[in-house]
Structure 1
Amino acid sequence: MDISVSDIAKVTGGEYIGDETALRRIVSGLTWDSRTIMPDNIFLAMPGMRVDGNDYVRAAIQRGAGAVVCTRMPTENVIAVAGEFACPMIVVDDGVEALEKIAGSWRDRLHAIVIGVTGSTGKTSTKDLLSSVFSQRFKTTATQGNQNNEIGVPATILAADEDTEVLIVELGMRGMHQIEHLCTFVKPSIAVVTNVGVSHMELLGSRENIAHAKSELLSALPDTGYAVLNADDEYTPLLENFAHLAERGVTVHSYGFSPEAETHAQNVSYDAEACASFEIVTGDAAPVPVTLGMPGRHNVLNALAAYAAGINMGIAPDDIARGLAEAKASGMRMEIEHTPDGVTILNDAYNANPDSMRASISTLMTLEGDGRRIAVLGDMGELGSDEYQLHVDVGTFAAQADLDMLVCIGTLSVGIKAGALAADMDAARVKSFTGVDEAIAFLEKNVQEGDLVLVKASRFMELERIVKGIMQR
């Protein structure tokens, strides 16, 4: 991103502090972390969860910031430092709103095709697959990690260069109208919705409401847009209805395991690390062989979504297959790690919901190995009034998967334990701990050479500490 200070002042409507000549300065890139400032970056100073960026304006200026957008009037001393370094400042009322306005202005200058991705599960992995596929032919910018909120989405847009050809934006959702708002400046022309699950049930109350919120991405498409939807998801017809896709003439391309899906998989098999090889079939075209480097059956579905989007953009099937093979998942998502003493860890600790829990347990059971299969599962958040039963259901599935050991961590995970025991899993194979530290102590002593260990929970549980404990034991 290259933008003038004058344009920033204009789109944000903030109070300008600085020499008039500095309004013509071109600044490049934006950060809200003063430690990562590069010369000529915009430093966005606003309150955060732990610190207030306004307290670091002086440091940002001294590190070479090209301009500062702040949410608090700077002191005379800071203004003097800004004058010394010839750094213009713009004072705004709301930092997030200013960020969105800057991103919106930059989005209007881009000529890129914008792909929006959302869904209850799989959106980050699908975004990673899309990025790898489209990079085979186009200059592509995509969301880093899962920066899919009101800060990460505009940051993704601002990360795109003027010559970016494809911009892939992951869109999270914590309530009705959030995706609708984000799309006012994302302006997608292609949309991928992976599924409608029970994540955020606590906020929205029903899967129908979740579908309505997810459909906001589809509603943001122009009538000439292209929607890639999961044919295996029972809520997909509801998505289409909420967004009035048929009435508007929006092209819909379905994908899934079902042979009725326009793009579907056949002849699926898995290697020792649960990575799939399969054929993709689209219409009357010849089947395209694909091998993934990301484990799990659910990633076959995600790959089908990426394939459907790639075909629409005219990417050759062989190039799409290569992109799918080269794709790497973002951190702590189905990462396979090996300890020096021969323990295999399936690190899926970044987040969890009931659907992704079942998918990860299935992947654990697909891994090749002679050791015990141990699932270390923690609490799942934002599930609403049914949270206990949803944990019980995961426990039932874990028992039916025939795990060798189930380790439950947290207050909500007592439901997982209860579900497993009710499904006749041997009580000696089910362990329960209130906190992470005691679970680490147990696992450090009891995990053995050759064991295969899944680690998964919602983000607030921080179960990556379990992975670290096993790796360093």
Structure 2
Amino acid sequence: MKKSLYWLALLWLKFWARLVLGRVKPYIIGVTGSAGKSSAVAAMNPVIKLKFPRLKVAGKANSESGIPADILGLHFGESPSPIADWIRICFFAPLRALHSVFSIQHSVFDCYLVEMGVDEPAPPKNMGYLLTILQPDMGVILNVLPVHTQQFGSVAKIAKEKGKLIAENPNLKLAILNADQPGINSLKPTADGIKTLTFGINSKADIIILSIKPSLEGTEISLQYNKQKYFIKLNRLALPDFYGYTFAAAFAVGISLDLNPAAITDAISTGFVLPPGRGQIFAGIKGSTIIDSSYNASRETMIGSLRLLKTVPGKRRKIAVLGDMRELGNQAEKEHLAVAKTILETADQAVLVGPLMRKFVFPYLENHGFQTQWFPTAGYAAKFLLESSPRRGGANLQDGEVILVKGSQNTIFPEIIVEALLSNKEDIEKLCRRGKFWDRQRRPFKL
């Protein structure tokens, strides 16, 4: 019964959302990938606005329910409970749609930039279902990683499902693909009239990532296109090397829209706003520096963030505060051990959170004599860092340390730790997952 009601609600939202799209007729850019979608959309935002001033960005909406609701100007998480959310959104859906259809100023947005998340192989949480809501003019595939392998069983199956954005999209005109992953690069469309651009460190890519130089002061990215070099400079953001793909993809989108390359890099340098929890630098207590990468985690992003931690100059102690990487299925042990090996090379101490870290990473680090602690929840980890320990002869958090905080959003909520360590509590509003909905979700994991 509950499942049937959910499907009815989805079909209701889809009907009204498609009505709006049919009336507004925006240029649609769809972005998919296993990691980095929100950051890529944030990088594309100022670029696309050079071509489409009335760009609409699908914010936090990337699912079978969030996308149609967003098209209608409605959003989940704004009501006291999930049921109240659904009642409110289903009630207002036709009102918002009919207003758009009959309004004289109906063309309120000329382009729609949307993340297209794929969580399972079956509808409605797959790409096939999302393509029944909207068919992008431009499709961007960032990467395919062993995330959600618990649901799919293999990376190849993940690639096939995400690849439907290109392979089974009748409206496709432009494809932007990662040249460094054969499973993606092989998706190049063969139909006439579809243009393809590739990006990556591969020398055969159309947009080549030459370098990314991060520091606690900022990050500089160097790209090459048509044998010319272009630079993106971002202040107060410490971004790991995998962000090179983020900006290369945004650059490729701009080129596909026939924009000037220099204008593209300038737009990113001046207009890029990183979503919370993706590498922001905050002042912490006791003169510490926090690298807040608490939004989510996969092996690639975890290892990249640890390598960034290693690059911090000087003799400051480096603490890696890391939570589980979830939804990995039979890849969980392999992925967590890869992170454990990187911790040994990049940090002075590890504070671990979650059952997978306890099962795979904690014993590995202990066996290598590495200073490490494990806690069941982020609340306990935060409490440890704030307290004194007789074993250390003083505070667990000492003066001037650099602290990387990263982990899965799935019941780990590492932002709890960032919140506890902030020197300026006004910065709490700059962290990821704000609002009443997330406050309710975090409550069981706080002390």
Is 2:166–2:172's contact at 8 Å kept on the other side of the alignment? no
**Deviation, structure 1 residue 468:** 1.2
Separation in structure 2 between the aligned mates of residue 457 and residue 272 of structure 1, nearest angstrom: 20
Q: Deviations over 1:161-212 (max 9, x none)?
A: 7242221000111112511211222210101111010100000000000101
* Equivalent residue for 1:219, pick from 167, 171, 184: 167
Offset of residue 261 of structure 1: 1.0
Q: Does 1:300 align with 2:244?
A: yes
1:55-454 matches, cutoff 5 A? 94-138=8-52, 139-145=54-60, 147-159=61-73, 162-176=107-121, 178-222=126-170, 225-240=173-188, 245-247=189-191, 250-273=194-217, 275-284=218-227, 286-293=228-235, 294=237, 295-325=239-269, 326-339=271-284, 341-368=286-313, 370-401=315-346, 403-414=347-358, 415-421=360-366, 424=368, 426-427=369-370, 429-445=371-387, 446-454=396-404
How big is each residue's C-alpha offset from its partner over 1:427-471, in whole Å with a ceiling of 9 and x where there is no partner?
3x1222223232112111312222111111111211111111112
Q: Which stretch has the larger CA shift, 351-360 or 194-203?
A: 351-360
Q: 1:170 to 1:267 in 2, by over 3 A?
A: closer
1:463 aligned partner: 414
SS in structure 2 at match of 1:412: helix
**Are the structure 2 counterparts of residues 312 and 453 from structure 1 closer, same or farther at C-alpha, using a change threshold of 3 Å?**
same
* Structure 1: tracts of 5 or more residues without a match: 1-46, 49-70, 72-91
Give the residue type in structure 2 aligned to 1:117.
Answer: V
CA contact (8 A) 2:289 2:402 kept: yes
Give the Cα separation in 2 of the matches to 1:373 and 1:323. 34
CA distance in 1, matches of 2:345, 2:262: 39
Indicate how the Cα distance of structure 1 residues 267 and 433 shifts in structure 2: closer, same or farther if over 3 A, else same: closer
- Cα 1:272/1:471, change in 2 over 3 Å: closer
Hey, what's the Cα distance between the residues in 1 that align with 2:214 and 2:299? 23
Distance 2:198 2:177 in 1: 5
Residue pair 2:353, 2:376 contacting (<8 A) in 1 also: yes
Q: Distance in 1 between matches of 2:250 and 2:340?
A: 32
Answer yes or no: is the 8 Å Cα contact 1:392–1:417 preserved in 2.
no
2: CA distance between counterparts of 1:297 and 1:234? 20
Displacement of 1:93: 7.8
* Cα distance in 2, alignment partners of residues 260 and 155 from structure 1: 40
* Consecutive unaligned residues in structure 2, runs of 5 or more: 74-99, 101-105, 388-395, 426-447
Preserved CA contact (<8 Å) 1:395 1:418: no
Give the drift of 1:96: 2.2
Residue 251 of structure 1: how far off its partner (Å): 2.1
Find the residue that maps to 1:281 and give its secondary structure.
strand
Q: Compare CA radii of gyration and give the structure with the larger one.
A: 1
Q: Secondary structure at the match of 1:97?
A: helix
Residues 31-80 of structure 1 show CA distances to partners (whole Å, capped at 9, x for unaligned) of xxxxxxxxxxxxxxxx99xxxxxxxxxxxxxxxxxxxxxx7xxxxxxxxx
Given the superposition, is the C-alpha separation of residues 290 and 117 from structure 1 closer, same or farther in structure 2, using an over 3 Å criterion? Answer: same
Rounded to whole Å, the distance in 1 between the matches of 2:313 and 2:32 is 32
CA distance in 1, matches of 2:116, 2:7: 25
Count of matched residue positions in the alignment of Structure 1 and Structure 2? 374
SS at match of 2:163: helix
Q: Percent identity among equivalent residues?
A: 27
- Which secondary structure does the structure 1 equivalent of 2:352 belong to? strand
Distance 1:247 1:318 in 2: 31
C-alpha spacing 1:338/1:225, structure 2 compared with 1 (3 Å): same
| 1:268 shift after superposition | 3.9
After superposition, the CA RMSD in angstroms is 2.4
Q: How far did residue 224 of structure 1 move?
A: 5.5
Task: Indicate the residue corresponding to 2:445 in structure 1.
Answer: none
Q: Aligned-pair distance for 1:123?
A: 0.9
Is residue 177–residue 185 contact of structure 2 (8 Å, CA) maintained in 1? no
What does residue 92 of structure 2 align with? none
What are the Cα deviations for residues 271-302 of structure 1, in whole angstroms up to 9, with x where unaligned? 434x4323322124x32222134422221211
Q: Is the 8 A contact 1:391 1:419 kept in 2?
A: no
- Superposition deviation, residue 421 in structure 1: 4.5
Give the C-alpha shift of residue 386 in structure 1.
2.7
1: CA distance, partners of 2:361 / 2:109: 46
Residues 227, 467 of structure 1: CA spacing in aligned structure 2 closer, same or farther, 3 A cutoff? same
- Once the two structures are TM-superposed, the CA of residue 239 in structure 1 deviates from its matched residue by 3.7
Cα distance change on mapping 1:249 and 1:366 into 2, 3 Å: farther
The secondary structure found in structure 1 opposite 2:147 is: coil
Does the CA-based 8 Å contact 2:322-2:352 persist in structure 1?
yes
The answer (yes or no) to whether the contact 1:107–1:185 under 8 Å persists in 2 is no
Bigger CA drift: 293-302 or 264-273? 264-273
Structure 1's 316 and 447: CA in aligned 2 closer, same or farther, altered over 3 A? same
Tell me how far apart the structure 2 counterparts of residues 458 and 279 of structure 1 sit (CA, whole Å).
Answer: 29
Per the alignment, residue 16 of structure 1 pairs with none
